[in-house]
Structures are given as structure tokens and as C-alpha cells.
Chain A
Amino acid sequence: MRNKKWTVFSTVMASTLLLAGCGSNSGNGGDGQAAATTSASPSASASGQASPSAQTDPVTLSAWIMPNSPKPDADFLKVMDPYLKEHPNVTLKVTVLDWGSAWTKITTAATSGEGPDILQLGTTWVPAIASMGGIDKITDKMGDVGGEASYLPASWNTTKIEGKEDIYGVPWFVDARAIYYNKEAFKAANVDPAEAFKTWDSFKSALEKVNGVTLDGKKVAALGVPGKNDWNVVHNIFPWIWAAGGDVLSADHKSVTFNDDKGVDGVMYYTGLANEGLVDKSSLEKNSSQIESDFGDGKSAVIITGPWLAKNFATPSKAGGMDDKAAAKQFAISPLPAGPSGQSTFIGGSDLTVFKGSKNKDAAWEVIKYLSTVEAQQAYADISGQLPANKNLIESPDLDANMKAFAEATKYGKSYPSIPQWGPTETALQKHFANIWDIVAGVKGKYDRDSIQKEMNDAASEVNSIIKQ
């Protein structure tokens, strides 16, 4: 029995510890339990249409979200507050899943039919859960939330299964990657940031100049890059493959192309920065959060990460932020430099979906509709530090300078192919890209184009067998 107790205890500990998940947001993660109590509103479920009484009957909705903001459940409810005040009959129960265990919980819910009403899905999960039959088609309702014109093409692609017309999700917020650089380090090296991030060549020569400058008496490494012990391995590499003119799959999504010459060019350029000493190799053992914290401490002059870090730098350390870090007041943001085939960045984020097993689908849709309004989009972006999905907001001139840089980056954003097999594909890529980082770190054979090409070919053959399933 002692072991049983331990299992329970460590599980509880785990749910409080493992919230790092997909982003850098740590904080209070809710209970991590599947709260699947949905009290059915008989009139709404019976008619299927929003009958007048469905507007007033008491209804309890349950929403599953991920740790998107410092206090995920409270922040979400805060954004929902105006809606809930206007609809006193609606009670909203929020359950926060951590990214690590969310997939298992969601697939379990999808297979058992017992789950939430409103479900947040990572953009790459939508086609998989949709093809599993876990979420509803909402194609005919998209007029309510603005339709295609209201969203970035890269986000819009994630709402459906590649090659099909049906829509399964509404983009909620956008994750993109851009460069954070330390202005003081660039000043010390006498490098003009306006020129530095234009092309691959100018980026590299800027890094060479910045490498080793001293800030507050400490030597600064040019670039901070998390290696393989990280959840962003694949997202970190693909922008370079895209900028080199490569792509994940062929246009018909039937074969793998990321291991062609252009793809390898991209990987060689990016890993070459580390190989040529522009990256402190110690950083290759670290994960994204640790790299962000190192950048905050002024250990590196440039890192590439998502919009949440700007929010983190503005949040008091008492509230879990990093406003006390040296770089919090010295950083600026720029889109990634252009490669041979132009600029590019990774676009991800999350979509909102209606769970198939929900008994309150109309009420659930009303909530999603509200979350897609300009006001709620703005409020959630403010509170979470994520980019809003609404295109008008992304393009709005009122955005603060940091978010503007991200908005600029999203113009060149690409998302992964929206195929149901993306999950396994990413797992396979993660493993082989991890091996590439081992090669770069010098612990797995010689670093040259041949060894990288070989690892990419291994990845390609594994991914090929996955997409042909």
C-alpha cells in the first residue's frame, strides 16, 4: 500500500510541476482532473436548435483549456466575465489540462464520449481529433465568427483536415516565433539591429560581431538555442527549412520533402551557427524556459521564441514573471531573417472546438462565439501574452511595439500540414532532430553535411511510413 500512496502523492506533485508543457507559462494549473460533470439542459439537447427557453434555462458548461496564461483558469474566467454577467443562466466550469497529459485525456474523452463542452486543441491536434470523430463539424456556423477572412491563412489552415472542406475549430490565439535581441549587447558590439536581421548573411555576421561582447562584466554568447531536451525542437528547425525553400511534405501531402537539398541547406545554416561557436554549447542541453531565462540574465544576445516572453518580461517577479531580469528592459523583437527563399516563421497556437459528446452544443457555441469577438480576443491576448487570432487585431495599429514585431512575423508564417497523422510525424521528427543536435554538440559522430543528410533521410523514411498509413 505504501507504493500506492506514493503513486498518488507523486501524481499530485507531477500535476503541479509538469505545467511547463507547450509554453513558458508556469503557474497555478488547476486541479488537473477531468471534471466531466455536465448538467444537461433538456430543452437545448432535445431540440438541437437554440429554442427561446435555451437562452434562459440554467446550463453548466465545462471547458478544457491548457495553461495559456499565468493563472489559466482565473484568467479565462476573467475574460468570460462580461458574457457570464449577461447570461446569468450559464455556469462555466474550467478545467486546466497540462500539455503533457492533455493528449491522453482528450483522446480518452473522445473515445468514451465523456468530456467537456468546449475544448481547446493545439492547432496540430485538430485534424487528428476531427478524424477520430471527437469534435463537431462547425462549417455552417463559421459566419458567426467571421469566416476565413478574419484569420491568418496559416491559422485558418489548422481548422480543417488537409484536402477537405469541413471546418472543425475556430482559431483562438496564435503562437509565432520571432527574434528577441538584447539592445545593449548590439550597442556594445556596434551592430545596427535594423541591418542585422535582414538576411541570413547579415544575421550571421551580426552574430559573429556580438559574440563575446561583455555586458555588466560578463561575456555574452551570440545566440541561445535549446537543443534536444525540449518541446520545441521541431518548431525551432522548420522556419529555417522553409526559409531555404524546403517544405515538410510535397504539395499533395503524399511524400516527404524536408530532406531535399533545400531542407538540408536550412538545417545546415541553423545548426552551423551553433557549430561555428556562435552558441554557447551548454545551451544545447537546456529547454526553452531555461534559454529564455538565460537571455533574461544577459547570457545570450539573441534568442528565438514566442510572444509570451514579452509578457513575462512585463510581469512582476512576485507574480511569476521576469521583470527583475536584466534583459527585461533591454530587449527588442524582430522577425526572422530572410533565407534564399524569403522570410518564414512557425505558426501554431490553439483552436476552440465543440466536443462531440457535449449535451449543450448550442450554449457551447455561444461561448466560442463570444471568445471570438474583438473584445474577448483583445482581453485574452492582453492577459495571456499570446497573439490574438483575429486578423483585424493582429493588423491593428494600436498594438504595442513588441506585438507589432510579432504581427509582422506572422505575415511570413507557415503552419504544418493539417494532416491527421501530424502527431506521430512530429514525434518521429523530434527524435531525429534530437540526434542532429547530438551531432552538433559533438557527442554523436562528426558534424558535416553528410551526417546531417543521413539523419534527415532516416527521419524522412520514418515519416514516409507514417503518412502512408
Chain B
Amino acid sequence: MQPDNVTKRKANSYTSLQKSFRTNRFAYMLIVPTLLFMLLVHFLPMAQGIVMSMLKLNQFTLAQYLRAPFIGFDNYKSLLFDESNPIRQGMGFAVRNTVIYTIVVTFLVLAWGLLVAMLMNRPFPGRGIARTAMLLPWVVPSYVVGVLWGFMWQRDGIINYILVDLLHLMGEKPFWLIGHNTIWAIIIPTIWRGWPFLMVVFLAALQTIPEDIYEAARIDGAHKLRQFVHITLPLLKPVIAVQLLFQFINNVYSYNIVSTMFGNGAGYPGEWGDLLMTALTRQSFGYWAFGSGSAASFLLMVVMLVFVGIWYRTFRSELNSQ
């Protein structure tokens, strides 16, 4: 390519940008407040977090805050290679639990939400009331979910009463809030609260699929399962893709339910109940290791960005077709 062409192209793109700005001036002006707001509440704190991750910020230097001693990448080094780093204590359990939690919750919430949406998509008497009633769990704030389920999971609570006393599914009443069962005690309430939102989203998406497509398929002799695999799923793919991402991010960053279920953040949720966020919060605020904590948060953000990148590559075609 000739250098001339390059400059010309640059100039062109510049003038076209100018032109676009002129024609859409009003639209840009409308965006400005949002941009400023984002800058203020989103990007500045993020930048501050990155700065903090390079400071020796503990309880003795906290008063200096951003003027605390600058130590470059020492926090990252210690986080990755020093086993006695406070943030690392018990982090292995938290990572394992978060992986299990995220995969199980994301998959089940999507599947259950879609299933119920399909049931709700057909006309039946009382459909409106049923839909509203099903939204209830989602309306309950996650803090309340943690407290309520915390009561229900107790050894002499209602869940064991149903499982053991009524249904006789188990011989002895198990512990749910201590020991390895804890992981179920946090997964199930999360699913319980999470699926209604997915149902609403999928229901809305299902209603955009024209009925004639199904009709044509029926005439061609396609049974329900084939209709689902070849019509519903492909047409819902962009919605599923977006929801998959949201669920994934939400679940990795999950905090409230675990925090309220185990002593309002004061307790230690245990080796099967601790999640990344509860561990990170406890270790950075409890141990006053704010520098290392910021570094860990930044590392987590990078890992998440990689996942978002993989997600985008996987679903690029579906997203662009929209």
C-alpha cells in the first residue's frame, strides 16, 4: 500500500468522523452525561484500584491512602509466589468452590429458566398470575435469601424436616451449614433466586419467534424435540449467549447470599462455602491487606476479561447477526 493512500485514508476517516459528529451532534450531547457519569463512578475507581494494587497499603499506611509507599509489582509477585501472603490463605478452597458454584448455577439457571419459559409460552388459564407468582423469588433481595435459607438449612430446620421426617429420604439429619454440604446450601438458593429472571428473558425472546415457523415444521412432520433443537434453540442463541455471559459474571462475583448465610460476614463460611468474593473481601478487609487485595481483584478482572474474550469469539457470529 502506498503511504499516500494511508494518509488519504486517515484524512478521510477523520473528515467522516467530523461529519458524523456534526450530523449527530445532538445524539453525542445526550451521551455526554452518561459518559461523564461512567468515568466518575466506574473508570476512576477502577484506575484507583490499579494504583492501590501497586502500593504498600496496609493498616499502618492506610492513613496515607494513595500516597502510601509505591512498590511496583511487589503485591502481584507476593500474591503469585509467596505462600504466606494473607490473601492466599484458604484461597484454594474459594477458587474450587467458585468454579463448582458458577458452572452448576449457570447451567441449571439457564436450563430451568428456559424450560419454564417454554411451559409458560403456551396459553392456559391463569397464565398471567402464574408468571407473576414465579417472579417472586427474584423479587426477594439476595440478603434476605441468605437469611431465610440460612434458617431453612438448619439441622432442625424445615428442609431436614421434609427430607428426613416426612419423606424419609435420609436416615439421619445431615448438617447443611457446616461441612461439605455447604456448597449445596449456597448453590440451591442462588438457583432459586436466579431462574425467574431468566424465565422472563426467555419468555420475551420466545414470543418474538413467529408461530408460522413452528407451523411449517409441524407440516413437515417435525416432532417437539426436533422443533426445539432446530428452531427454538438456534433462534434463541443470541439471547442465550448474552445470558450465559451475565450469569457467568454474576456467579463468579457472587457475595451476598454466602455473606448473610454465615454470620453476616463475621463468620467463616468454611472450606466448602467460601467463594472468591467472600474470601477476597475477608482477607483484604479482615487482614487489612488492601494493596494485595487490590492486586488480587485486578488479577481476577484480567482472568474474567480472558473469559469474556473466549465467550465473544465463540458467539461472535450470533451476536453480529442480530
Contacts of B144 in A (CB 8 A): 13, 17
Contacts of B86 in A (CB 8 A): 424, 466
Contacts of A465 in B (CB 8 A): 84
Q: How far is the CB of A436 from chain B (nearest CB, A)?
A: 11
The answer to whether B179 and A441 touch across the interface, beta carbons within 8 angstroms, is yes
Whole-angstrom distance between the alpha carbons of A337 and B103 in the complex? Answer: 50
Interface residues on A, range: 35 or more
Question: With A10-B143, A17-B144, A132-B62 in contact, is A285–B264 under 8 Å at CB?
Answer: no
The answer to whether A427 and B287 touch across the interface, beta carbons within 8 angstroms, is yes
Give how many A-B residue pairs fall within 8 Å (CB-CB). Answer: 136
Residue of B nearest to A132 (CB): B63
Whole-angstrom distance between the alpha carbons of A428 and B286 in the complex? Answer: 8
Whole-angstrom distance between the alpha carbons of A443 and B270 in the complex? Answer: 11
The answer to whether A132 and B59 touch across the interface, beta carbons within 8 angstroms, is yes
Question: With A9-B141, A438-B270 in contact, is A133–B265 under 8 Å at CB?
Answer: no
Whole-angstrom distance between the alpha carbons of A228 and B263 in the complex? Answer: 8
Question: With A13-B141, A424-B288 in contact, is A285–B175 under 8 Å at CB?
Answer: yes
The answer to whether A284 and B178 touch across the interface, beta carbons within 8 angstroms, is yes
> B36-71 toward A: CB 8 Å interface, digit per residue (1/0)?
000000000000000000000011101101000000
Checking B143, B178, B289 against A437 with a beta-carbon cut-off of 8 angstroms, the contacting residue is: B178
Residue of B nearest to A356 (CB): B63
Checking B142, B178, B267, B286 against A423 with a beta-carbon cut-off of 8 angstroms, the contacting residue is: B286
Which residues 201-246 of A have a CB within 8 angstroms of B?
A: 227-231, 233
Q: How far is the CB of A5 from chain B (nearest CB, A)?
A: 11
The answer to whether B141 and A434 touch across the interface, beta carbons within 8 angstroms, is no
Question: With A18-B260, A104-B285, A282-B156 in contact, is A134–B267 under 8 Å at CB?
Answer: no
Question: With A9-B141, A229-B177, A231-B266 in contact, is A428–B287 under 8 Å at CB?
Answer: yes
Q: How far is the CB of A106 from chain B (nearest CB, A)?
A: 11
The answer to whether A100 and B267 touch across the interface, beta carbons within 8 angstroms, is no
The answer to whether B256 and A10 touch across the interface, beta carbons within 8 angstroms, is yes
Further contacts, 12 of them, CB under 8 A, given A110-B63, A228-B267: A111-B63, A132-B62, A227-B178, A229-B262, A229-B267, A281-B155, A281-B175, A420-B59, A421-B59, A423-B287, A424-B288, A443-B179
Subset of 23 A-B contacts with CB under 8 Å: A9-B141, A10-B143, A10-B256, A99-B266, A128-B59, A133-B63, A229-B177, A229-B178, A231-B267, A281-B175, A285-B178, A423-B286, A424-B59, A424-B286, A424-B289, A435-B268, A435-B270, A435-B271, A438-B179, A438-B271, A443-B179, A444-B271, A465-B84
Of all A-B residue pairs in the complex, the 8 with the closest CB atoms, nearest first, are A443-B179, A427-B286, A231-B266, A282-B155, A10-B141, A434-B268, A424-B287, A285-B177
Binding site for A on B (CB under 8 A): 58-60, 62-63, 65, 84, 86, 89-90, 141-144, 147, 150, 153-156, 173, 175-181, 256, 260-268, 270-271, 282-283, 285-289
